Amino acid sequence: MFFQLRSRRVKTITKDMEIISVGNELLIGKTLNTNAKWLAEQATSMGITVKRVTVIADDVQEIAD
């Protein structure tokens, strides 16, 4: 009986993300950004590093940029 051993390369994949929230109500403090909090918790629990959380206004041009 013969066994063939194969070498395996282990590749480390880094998982980083940014959360982008859109809403004037977030920018003026009228609403807490609970969605970003929840997403960050979920991502972290899956081994993903949240590098940044950004909030932008309800402006089509700003969203497009």
- Closest by CA to 51, choosing from 18, 15, 20, 22, is 18
Q: How confident is the model at residue 63 (pLDDT cuts 50, 70, 90)?
A: confident
pLDDT at 4: 61
* Residue 8 or 55, more confident: 55
Q: How confident is the model at residue 13 (pLDDT cuts 50, 70, 90)?
A: confident
pTM, to two decimals: 0.72
